[in-house]
Amino acid sequence: MATTPPGKIYLHEQLADFVRGLIEDGTFRPGDRVPSLRGIAGRFSVSLATATRAYEALEQRGWIEARPQSGFYVRTPHALDLEPPARGETPGYPERVDVQGLTRGLIAHDDAGEAVTLSLALPADELIPSKGLGRAISRAVRREPALAARYTFPPGLEQLRRRIAGQAVDAGCRVHPDDVLVTTGCSEALTIALSAVARPGEVVAVESPTFFKILTMIEALGMRALELPTDPIDGVDVAALERAFASGTAQAALLIPSFNNPLGSCMPESQRAAVADLAARYRVPVIEDDIYGDLYFGERRPPLLRAFDTSGWVLTASSFSKTIAPGYRIGWLLPGRFYERALHHQHAYTLGTSAVTQMGMTDFLASRSFPHHLRGLRRTYRGQVERMRYAIARAFPGGTRVSRPSGGFVLWVELPGDVDGTTIYQAALAEGIRVAPGTLFSTGKAYDGYIRISCGGLWNDVLDDAIHRLGRIVAGALPNDGPGEPSHHRAPLETQ
Amino acid sequence: MATTPPGKIYLHEQLADFVRGLIEDGTFRPGDRVPSLRGIAGRFSVSLATATRAYEALEQRGWIEARPQSGFYVRTPHALDLEPPARGETPGYPERVDVQGLTRGLIAHDDAGEAVTLSLALPADELIPSKGLGRAISRAVRREPALAARYTFPPGLEQLRRRIAGQAVDAGCRVHPDDVLVTTGCSEALTIALSAVARPGEVVAVESPTFFKILTMIEALGMRALELPTDPIDGVDVAALERAFASGTAQAALLIPSFNNPLGSCMPESQRAAVADLAARYRVPVIEDDIYGDLYFGERRPPLLRAFDTSGWVLTASSFSKTIAPGYRIGWLLPGRFYERALHHQHAYTLGTSAVTQMGMTDFLASRSFPHHLRGLRRTYRGQVERMRYAIARAFPGGTRVSRPSGGFVLWVELPGDVDGTTIYQAALAEGIRVAPGTLFSTGKAYDGYIRISCGGLWNDVLDDAIHRLGRIVAGALPNDGPGEPSHHRAPLETQ
């Protein structure tokens, strides 16, 4: 522990050393916010200029980083910053999907809720503005009880559609309220979108890996999936997508351009423009799942694919399940040129989501707490993702690789050696820790050596302990001659 | 107008004549409740025995009828009781379905809501306990805000599943809470059921006519419909159903055994037993849509098909949309032996309906007002259906036939001559009156000469006037040499 500095003038180097000491001690960990410039200048009676110089020095040396309008945060030390996973192998031909059994088991287990759940991408209860939402819904039913009890036929409540259209400005789009279909979560939005653009037996191009629910949906609708090579940083391989379109192999695509789940990849704008162009040129519909789009860590929200679409071949699906509350089941679809068909399918399938929750959500979106909530949520998830990466780097054996997402709240972990993700899933389950085995995220075997870890839960000692135990489980599963050293040069905490 | 009787003793015949006079005057119309025995005995200072004899006399002469625990009601005069429609012709082979365009137009129009809507089977706002529901939902979110905001994964909230299972006792079934899947209305229940039992391209046997949304669903899922001859009173022709199963023509069936929409037919118990037996014997799943089952007019609820099913080949879909409130989107599926597949499909499609509305509905079902509400609703719909039949009999030209449902709240009207239902639909629309054209209820042309009229709205002068105008529209559409006389022997009111 560093000694408390006396309350006199420090040169900026001394101040920098002091803060670095706190980081080395683990008082401030990666993802934590360090004291503000004004705060530290005041505490140590230095000028703001000195404090600024100190933090600049720390920033240059890679200890902290500035985040606009938010302050300075501890960075993951370079030595502990694991490499992102390698690209998975894709078979290059469409596959029948058959992952429902496994995913069902996963959710069934997690529903029980007596263990440490790192398996599902769920926001922690503490991150859901449930009281504000409760008040909004009570207000709405008191004000308009009859409206709340009536059918709200597709496309859904006009006031809510206006709010959703308004939000799209942030994502670089001009959306008319009449372009919006309110759905039962992003899940129904994707189901309707797939039903509107493809038929049973047809082939949908997806990223590899991709969210397991997308695969179960494709399976449930009797379609096939074509997995495309996907870069852990930049997302889907556009040339591969073009080949799938040009050859007529794929009749549609379903991508997660912003913070692919599980990979965390985010497509650069130029690639988005190229994909939107392919869709229009080959007249092949591209569905984008933007459920994590608002949870960006950088300065600016990534634009929608749709922002580059001029002819309606891009469909956008999203929801408030990750940003506000999953239990309200409010999502939306911007079906582009497939509007009429999407509307037909929603009429046929569910007749739309409940009037009550549409009204409550509209009220909540109109409240002043919403933008504030969203800003806080981004900061929190960014911090949690960093803490989790750091904890994994300390706890897991050498050779482990972890994704470096710039948004969302899941991590994609490539296990060292030939350790099997499903083995780890089962061993962890026996210890009351739930992770998602990588095999779920593909129709093939490319990700059997992976697990996905969700950072939706608030960081605490139980989580910290779970990651250390998980690291031991992985180490124990390594073959004896395999890489056994921890992935960093300091002894993991739990070996004491 | 009959003169007010002096307050002295009447013999029972005099009392009977007096009440009959009120009915002849139209003071009490078919479906109205006449004063209670106790009330009329007190008012005219006669003994309860005399009042009882008077009402018995009226009952024997067909003027009124007793309804258990409810009182005496004016019957439709025999001369005005139109015959039920004839059986439609069915093609005998499976058809691709293509009715979405028409039904969409229908709902889009009704959504606007500035006209007299007789087209959709919607409960009137006054019949929805919206304030009680509003209070229930506010209580629930205040008590458990976090639960309300969280995912409630399929199969849905356990307390709600217990309530639904408990209700099934009335319908002759022992259902375990774990047999229940909570869905987004009956609509999602049917979609999931169809997806679980049949594949695209397969054939689903349905009644002829059947609810247009069932046809749009079959269309949306890429299946085909085989329409079976259906009796306006007793429901589907069981022999035809057996032929479809035995020949392998149909891979599933979807029936509305209790108060088929639009026909109003209700299958006798023996036929239900026979259908359940066919399902088990041929191992062909039969889905029953029971959405109107609780709205029976008789003394006893018709049992479910499922009550006769011993091996899980019957699936039951229903909801609270007609009995409590459509806007809450709470339905359920009892998937029988298809439980796992149904659960898979709900995971893939919507991930379940909102936690908030499940909690609110659970609270409302637990309240004392629910059984009371349901009893009142049955009485109201029975009265409205009778009033509507009577009004149609007075207003429509001779040769019109109207269904005589024993539950639900829609009427199926066979137009006289060769009058086309779609022509009437359009002519009525031009006058601001919306009806559902018969052609929607079939893949073929058998019901082009029909319209469906909903009795969901509370009876009032606007409705009364709309039916008279509708009658004139139908009369005006008759060929000059066709049947032109009104269907009853008294001049319709509106000809004055």
pLDDT digits (tens, 9 = 90+) for B102-112: 665 565 554 44
CB contact (8 A) between residue A147 and residue B347: no
Across B102-178, where does the E strand assignment appear? 116-117
Choose, out of B98, B150, B199, B346, the residue to mutate when testing the contact with A (most A CBs < 10 Å).
B150
**DSSP 3-state assignment of A398?**
coil
At residue B90, the pLDDT reads: 75
Structure tokens at A490: 């300091």
Beta carbons of B107 and A351 less than 8 angstroms apart: no
DSSP letters spanning B401-427: EE---SBSSEEEEEPSTT--HHHHHHH
Three-state secondary structure of A403-470: CCCCECCEEEEECCCCCCHHHHHHHHHHCCEECEEHHHHCCCCCCCCEEEEECCCCCCHHHHHHHHHH
* Chain A residues inside the 8 Å CB shell of B122: 150-151
Task: Name the residue among B122, B153, B220 with its Cβ closest to that of A349.
Answer: B220
Beta carbons of B195 and B221 less than 8 angstroms apart: yes
CB contact (8 A) between residue A350 and residue B128: no
Ranges A326-330, B15-19, B333-337: which has the least confidence: B15-19
CB contact (8 A) between residue B329 and residue A148: no
* DSSP-assigned beta bridge partners for residue B319: B331
* Chain B residues inside the 8 Å CB shell of A200: 199-201, 222
User: Per-residue pLDDT averaged across B25-52, rounded?
Assistant: 84
Minimal CA–CA distance to A207: which of A406, A412, A418?
A412
The residue count of chain A comes to: 496
CA atoms within 13 A on the CB side of B419: 34
Across A164-304, where does the E strand assignment appear? 181-183, 203-208, 224-231, 235-236, 252-255, 286-289
Compare B490 and A263 and report the one with higher pLDDT.
Answer: A263
Structure tokens at A282: 């080959």
DSSP letters spanning B171-201: GT----GGG-EEESHHHHHHHHHHHHH--TT
Whole-angstrom distance, CA of residue A496 vs CA of residue B23: 94
CB contact (8 A) between residue B350 and residue A191: yes
Whole-angstrom distance, CA of residue A195 vs CA of residue B219: 11
DSSP letter at B449 equals T
Whole-angstrom distance, CA of residue A245 vs CA of residue A280: 11
Minimal CA–CA distance to A426: which of A466, A469, A462, A473?
A473
CA dihedral over A470, A476, A479, A484, signed as positive or negative: positive
Whole-angstrom distance, CA of residue B473 vs CA of residue B428: 7
Nearest chain A Cα distance for residue B210, angstroms: 15
Beta carbons of A390 and A80 less than 8 angstroms apart: yes
The one-letter amino acid code at B80 reads L
B270 CB burial (10 A radius; 0-12, 13-18, 19+): exposed
CB contact (8 A) between residue B216 and residue A150: no
Choose, out of B329, B330, B363, B454, the residue to mutate when testing the contact with A (most A CBs < 10 Å).
B329
Task: Name the residue among B111, B345, B353 with its Cβ closest to that of A184.
Answer: B353
Beta carbons of B255 and B215 less than 8 angstroms apart: no
Choose, out of A127, A350, A364, A458, the residue to mutate when testing the contact with B (most B CBs < 10 Å).
A350
- Strand-strand pairing, A433-434 and A116-117: parallel
Choose, out of B350, B359, B364, B458, the residue to mutate when testing the contact with A (most A CBs < 10 Å).
B350
CB contact (8 A) between residue A343 and residue B133: no
DSSP letter at A291 equals T
At residue B25, the pLDDT reads: 75
DSSP letter at B249 equals -
User: Per-residue pLDDT averaged across B19-44, rounded?
Assistant: 83
* DSSP-assigned beta bridge partners for residue B71: B67
Find, in chain B, the residue whose alpha carbon is nearest to that of A107.
B153
Which run of H or E residues covers position A402? strand A401-402
Beta carbons of A72 and A55 less than 8 angstroms apart: yes
Domains present along chain B, CATH in parentheses: 12-75 (1.10.10.10), 81-87+373-495 (3.90.1150.10), 95-102+127-369 (3.40.640.10)
Task: Name the residue among B146, B349, B356 with its Cβ closest to that of A357.
Answer: B356
At residue A485, the pLDDT reads: 52
CB contact (8 A) between residue A125 and residue B146: yes
DSSP letter at B490 equals S
Choose, out of B160, B323, B356, the residue to mutate when testing the contact with A (most A CBs < 10 Å).
B356
Task: Name the residue among A151, A201, A348 with its Cβ closest to that of B326.
Answer: A151
**pLDDT-based confidence at residue B234 (cuts at 50, 70, 90):** very high
User: Within a 10 A sphere around the Cβ of A26, how many other Cβ atoms?
Assistant: 10
Ranges A83-92, B200-209, B375-384, B402-411: which has the least confidence: A83-92
Task: Name the residue among A104, A138, A149 with its Cβ closest to that of B328.
Answer: A149
Question: String of b and e for B97-129 (b: at least 16 CB within 10 Å)?
Answer: bebbebbbebbebbeeeebbbbbbbbbbeebbb
* Chain B residues inside the 8 Å CB shell of A191: 348-350
Q: Which residues contact A283 (CB under 8 A, 6 or more apart)?
A: A313
Maximum C-alpha span of chain A: 75
Q: Which residues of chain A have pLDDT under 70?
A: 1-10, 77-81, 92, 96-114, 481-496
**pLDDT-based confidence at residue B495 (cuts at 50, 70, 90):** very low
Whole-angstrom distance, CA of residue B181 vs CA of residue B188: 11
User: Within a 10 A sphere around the Cβ of A157, how many other Cβ atoms?
Assistant: 20
**pLDDT-based confidence at residue B69 (cuts at 50, 70, 90):** confident
Whole-angstrom distance, CA of residue A78 vs CA of residue A66: 17
Minimal CA–CA distance to B82: which of B446, B393, B451, B435?
B393
CB contact (8 A) between residue A148 and residue B128: no
Nearest chain A Cα distance for residue B19, angstroms: 38
* DSSP-assigned beta bridge partners for residue A17: none
* Chain A residues inside the 8 Å CB shell of B338: none
Find, in chain A, the residue whose alpha carbon is nearest to that of B348.
A217
Ranges A484-493, B65-74, B208-217: which has the least confidence: A484-493
* Chain B residues inside the 8 Å CB shell of A137: 137-138, 141, 148, 356
For residue range A390-426, what is the model confidence (pLDDT) as tens digits? 999 999 999 999 999 999 999 999 999 999 999 999 9
* Chain B residues inside the 8 Å CB shell of A219: 348
* DSSP-assigned beta bridge partners for residue B56: none
Task: Name the residue among A103, A129, A347 with its Cβ closest to that of B104.
Answer: A347
* Chain B residues inside the 8 Å CB shell of A185: 350-351
Whole-angstrom distance, CA of residue B270 vs CA of residue B302: 12
Helix (H) and strand (E) counts in chain B: 16, 17
CB contact (8 A) between residue B347 and residue A128: no
Find, in chain B, the residue whose alpha carbon is nearest to that of A323.
B149
Minimal CA–CA distance to A206: which of A188, A218, A193?
A218
Per-chain mean pLDDT for chain B: 88
CB contact (8 A) between residue B149 and residue A130: yes
Find, in chain B, the residue whose alpha carbon is nearest to that of A348.
B217
Find, in chain B, the residue whose alpha carbon is nearest to that of A194.
B349
Nearest chain A Cα distance for residue B467, angstroms: 25
DSSP letters spanning B374-402: HHHHHHHHHHHHHHHHHHHHHHSBTT-EE
CB contact (8 A) between residue A131 and residue B137: no
Minimal CA–CA distance to A461: which of A452, A469, A453?
A469
A124 CB burial (10 A radius; 0-12, 13-18, 19+): middle
Whole-angstrom distance, CA of residue B61 vs CA of residue B78: 10
Whole-angstrom distance, CA of residue B369 vs CA of residue B375: 10
Strand order in the sheet with A410-414: A401-402, A410-414, A450-454, A436-437
At residue B103, the pLDDT reads: 62
Peptide bond preceding B155 in cis form (omega within 30 of 0): yes
Nearest chain B Cα distance for residue A489, angstroms: 41
At residue A100, the pLDDT reads: 56
Structure tokens at A201: 């037996």
* DSSP-assigned beta bridge partners for residue A349: none
Nearest chain B Cα distance for residue A191, angstroms: 6
Find, in chain A, the residue whose alpha carbon is nearest to that of B128.
A149
Task: Name the residue among B137, B184, B201 with its Cβ closest to that of A137.
Answer: B137
- Centroid of chain to Cα A254: 16
**DSSP 3-state assignment of B109?**
helix
Backbone angles phi, psi at B419, to 5 degrees: -60, 135
Whole-angstrom distance, CA of residue A56 vs CA of residue B42: 97
Backbone angles phi, psi at A203, to 5 degrees: -110, 130
User: Within a 10 A sphere around the Cβ of A269, how many other Cβ atoms?
Assistant: 12
Structure tokens at A288: 């984008």
A146 CB burial (10 A radius; 0-12, 13-18, 19+): middle
